[in-house]
Every structure is written in C-alpha cells, then in structure tokens.
C-alpha cells in the first residue's frame, strides 16, 4: 500500500493550500479526514486535466479583463471635461444634485462608453463651477475628470 496519495483540494485549507491545488498527503489523512469531509478529492488523470483547463480559462479571463480595463482607461482619459446644466438658486447653489446616472448618460451619449455608476465618485457638487469626479476603472486605477456645473437660468 502506498504511503502517500495525490489529492486535489476542493476547499481552501489553511494547512494544505488553496482550492484546486494538487498535493500529496498520507493515505490515512486523505481517506479518514479530507475526503469524507469533502475538503479534497482523489486526483485522477481526468480531474487533473479538468483542473488545469480551469486554471487556463482563469488566466485567459484575467488577460481579457486587463485589456478591457486598459482600453476603457485610455478612452476615459480622452475626456477633457463634462458639462452639466442645472437650475441656479441663491448663493450659486444648484437645485438638486448631480448624480452618477447623469454622468453615465453624458459619457454614454458623447463617447459611447458604458460605465457602471458604481465606478463614479462625485465630490461635493452643490455649487456652480468646476468640480472633480473620480472614475475608478479598477481597484488600482482612478481617473480624475473635471465637471463643469453651468447654470441654465442666467
């Protein structure tokens, strides 16, 4: 009987490794603890091939997402300013707020880019003038764009 058995982890296990990793453990540990508790499964040639295929798919998906993010970042950086028209009240205050929805509509209308409103962070837009908004392309990259708030009832 073999002393070691090859298994594939089905769950993250702090002692052994991450989900999907191929490890070699003692026979008793594998068959008495890991496999009955569904933490791991026996590594057959088909399961190993399937695991490698899933890893390749994840790598390709990361590459595609990175390329999409770079294109989106490049296209957003082309935007020089965003102009929004609002009614003016007293003391150069505007009626209502400028919302993420308005900014996404503006970007979609003039640049044909689709941006989630979750990616947009607006900073204090109650006064008429120039303000900054942050568009977060991914967790590492944030782009600042000036937003011009222009009064309509002058």
Global pTM value: 0.63
60 with 102, same domain?
no
Distance of CA 151 to the CA centre of its chain: 35
pLDDT, residue 2, reads: 65
120 with 144, same domain?
yes
Q: Percentage of residues in the chain with pLDDT exceeding 70? A: 97
The whole domain housing 139 covers 79-151
58 with 90, same domain?
no
**Other CB atoms closer than 10 Å to residue 57's CB: what's the count?**
10
10 with 65, same domain?
yes
pLDDT, residue 114, reads: 81
23 with 64, same domain?
yes
What span, in angstroms and rounded, lies between the C-alpha atoms of 65 and 97? 33
95 with 41, same domain?
no
Question: What pLDDT band is residue 47 in, cutting at 50, 70 and 90?
Answer: very high
Here the CATH number for the domain that contains residue 124 is 3.10.430.100
Question: What pLDDT band is residue 107 in, cutting at 50, 70 and 90?
Answer: confident
Q: Mean pLDDT, to the nearest integer, of 52-63?
A: 94
pLDDT, residue 85, reads: 87
84 with 145, same domain?
yes
Here the CATH number for the domain that contains residue 20 is 3.40.5.10
85 with 56, same domain?
no
pLDDT at 154 over 70: no
104 with 122, same domain?
yes
113 with 58, same domain?
no
Distance of CA 114 to the CA centre of its chain: 15
Q: Mean pLDDT, to the nearest integer, of 97-102?
A: 84
- Residue 29 burial (C-beta neighbours within 10 Å; 0-12, 13-18, 19+): middle
């Amino acid at each position: 009987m073999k002393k070691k058995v090859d298994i594939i982890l089905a769950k993250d296990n702090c002692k052994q490794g991450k989900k999907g990793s191929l490890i070699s453990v003692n026979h008793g540990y594998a068959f008495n603890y890991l496999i009955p508790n569904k933490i791991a499964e026996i590594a057959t040639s088909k399961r190993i091939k399937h695991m490698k295929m899933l890893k390749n798919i994840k790598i390709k998906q990361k590459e595609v997402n990175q390329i999409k993010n770079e294109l989106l970042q490049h296209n957003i950086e082309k935007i020089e300013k965003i102009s929004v028209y609002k009614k003016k009240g007293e003391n150069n205050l505007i009626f209502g707020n400028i919302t993420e929805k308005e900014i996404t509509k503006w970007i979609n209308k003039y640049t044909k880019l689709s941006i989630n409103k979750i990616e947009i962070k607006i900073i204090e837009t109650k006064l008429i003038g120039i303000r900054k908004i942050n568009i977060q392309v991914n967790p590492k990259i944030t782009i600042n764009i000036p937003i011009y708030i222009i009064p309509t009832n002058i």
